[in-house]
Amino acid sequence: MTKIRPLFDRLYVQRVQAEEKTQGGLYIPEGSKEKGQTGKVLATGNKEDFQVKVGDVVFFGKYSGTDIDDQHIILKEEDVLGIVE
């Protein structure tokens, strides 16, 4: 993957891996896993007053953004629902 620099109010995010097991200890098959809704911000666009910064772990909507591949997504800042602390 080549390096991506988002523009304007966009964020380049790496998804956090989904859980391998349920709380009861059952393993989830690869085909049944949903894509995670949390990710680590790798880069931000050139907007001056972002509320999130590089390195933050953010929670975003299920159908938000544009998938780059299975691990990476580009989001608008307004698609971020919250910062995970």
Give the model's confidence band at 32: pLDDT under 50 very low, under 70 low, under 90 confident, else very high. low
3-state secondary structure of 77: helix
The first and second tokens of residue 26, run together, are: 């059952």
pLDDT digits (tens, 9 = 90+) for 3-22: 889 999 999 999 987 666 66
pLDDT digits (tens, 9 = 90+) for 39-59: 999 999 998 888 999 999 999
3-state secondary structure of 31: helix
Cβ contact 56:83 at 8 Å: yes
What is the spatial distance between Cα 5 and Cα 7, in angstroms, rounded to a whole number? 7
3-state secondary structure of 32: helix
Instruction: Report all structural domains of the chain as residue ranges with CATH numbers, in order of start.
Output: 10-84 (2.30.33.40)
Question: pTM here?
Answer: 0.79
What is the spatial distance between Cα 2 and Cα 20, in angstroms, rounded to a whole number? 28
